[in-house]
Amino acid sequence: MTKPGTIRELRTSDYRVLSVKEELRKNLIGILRRGENPFPGLVGYEGTVVPQVENAILSGQDIVLLGERGQAKTRLARSLVSLLDEEVPAIAGCEINDDPYQPICRQCRTEMEEEGDEARIVWIGRDQRYGEKLATPDITIADLIGEVDPIKVAEGRYLSDELTIHYGLIPRTNRGIFAINELPDLAERIQVGLLNVMEERDVQIRGYKVRLPLDLYVVATANPEDYTNRGRIITPLKDRFGSQVRTHYPKTLAHEIAIMEEERTIFADGLEVIVPEYMKEIVAEITHLARKSGDISQHSGVSVRVSITGLENLISNSVKRAIRLGEAQAAPRISDLPAVVASLTGKIEVEALGDTREERIVDKLIQGAVLNVFNRRFRIEEFRELIVRFEGGFVMEVAETMPSEQYVSPGMTLPGMSAAVDQLHLSDPAAMPGVKESPAVTASAVEFILEGLHLSHKLNKERSAGKLRYRR
């Protein structure tokens, strides 16, 4: 059907304009009745954060999301857009998306007086109804709310004329969702301006007041330490948010891995990349150990981006090796783990520990992660015969640049090694048929098992000329 193009046609169609909060509530109710997930891209929040957000929307309450960095606060705020109608009508040419039935800006009210129901309308999509701003100390009232436009004054209008206002981001998000990130970083006087918009629905610019009953759903994000720290946020503004929702990091390795897989960059360049499940688990375990480490500051948190970028760098290192060696498949190995350091050190804050170097802390995290993953998959008793072989003088060399085929002959002839590699393959839910025979996957498994035995104090490891030697 042809969409109405004038207010008269809109009235004839019996279209009912809802407030933003009514609209969000209506669409959420529809999703819940159909048994669908309102936020399908959020992993690990199904039983914690999502129910609280649903309650807030059903109650028509503005939300403040509290959490450390990398907890998907901004993503959650942006996902609320999917709960808006696909399109809603607004008066054509209006800067603040005025309701065709109840315009609030002077320009639209004047147009309605002149044209009545023949005034033109446009249909705006849900993506155009979302505004977002990162709070910084240098933000001004003009940025968020508006300012007198000197050009409009020069055209002959009086300063008291509402038409001289150049609207800021908040009025331009009228009839939509406005998100402000890191709310406590706003200067107090700007917080007062935001308070007026949320509660009093008026805007004060350059000493005169304009009544603007804006229709907004406000979402704010903040670090808990800053939000609860007295003096960083004014109490009346805190009181205006109906719900305070605490976000969190993934509680399980499975959730962390799911996020890594969903968010990592994938390139379609023809090179086959196989990432064994235990290598993903190691990367996720590094991040989980970092979140518990006393050597790392927990005030700002350890972002999920540590896991995502760590996996990307791990894969990149294996791809680089496969390209240089002319191999058709790339599979990350234990010897690729140093590539994770570049993504980890830039995202953590080490506590002041005197002479303790950052590299030693990271190396400790990596070793702890490998050992934990190894112990979850194997028992040392399974390698009794293999250890006896090493006690007899056997030495196994590995290297980051060693071709995968060179692992197969010496590694797979060790007693118990073939069964252990098969066990790793069977425990991988994403393993494809034929992957077990891949030399790249075999090399990765052999290195993992040898390193696990070394960290379990069953094998010694020596470094020499870019190679690692495992011996007893």
Q: Could you identify the residue written with the tokens 């968020």? A: 144
Which pLDDT band, with edges at 50, 70 and 90, does 445 fall under?
A: very high
Both tokens of 2, joined, read 């042809």
Which pLDDT band, with edges at 50, 70 and 90, does 153 fall under?
A: low
Which pLDDT score is estimated for 25?
A: 97
Which pLDDT band, with edges at 50, 70 and 90, does 229 fall under?
A: low
What's the pLDDT tens digit per position in 180-225? Answer: 999 988 888 888 878 877 776 666 666 556 667 889 999 999 988 8
Query: What residues form DSSP beta bridges with 113?
Result: none
Residue 19's nearest CA partner among 171, 220, 214 is 214
Q: Give the amino acid at 372.
A: N
Residue pair 124/97 in contact by the 8 Å Cβ criterion: yes
Which pLDDT band, with edges at 50, 70 and 90, does 287 fall under?
A: very high
Q: How many CB atoms lie within 10 A of CB 38?
A: 18
Mark out the alpha helices in 349-400 (DSSP H runs).
358-377, 384-391
Average pLDDT for 345-362? 73
Q: Is the pLDDT of residue 163 over 70?
A: no
**Coil/strand/helix, residue 216:** strand
Q: Is the pLDDT of residue 301 over 90?
A: no
Q: Is the pLDDT of residue 70 over 60?
A: yes
Residue 272's nearest CA partner among 329, 228, 313 is 329
| Dist CA 303 CA 317 (whole Å) | 22
Query: What residues form DSSP beta bridges with 245?
Result: 65
Percent of the chain with pLDDT over 70: 90
| Dist CA 12 CA 2 (whole Å) | 13
Residue 190's nearest CA partner among 179, 204, 176 is 204
What's the pLDDT tens digit per position in 87-131? Answer: 999 999 888 899 999 988 878 888 888 898 899 999 999 999 999
Which pLDDT score is estimated for 355?
A: 52
Q: Is the pLDDT of residue 471 over 60?
A: yes
The length of the chain in residues reads 472
Q: Where are the domains of the chain?
A: 7-246, 253-471
Torsion angle of alpha carbons 17, 18, 24, 26, nearest 10°? -90
Which pLDDT score is estimated for 160?
A: 56
| Dist CA 77 CA 63 (whole Å) | 9
Both tokens of 346, joined, read 């830039």
Which pLDDT score is estimated for 395?
A: 92
Query: What residues form DSSP beta bridges with 63?
Result: 219, 243
Among 3.40.50.300, 3.30.420.40, 3.20.20.370, 3.30.70.360, what is the CATH number of 7-246? 3.40.50.300
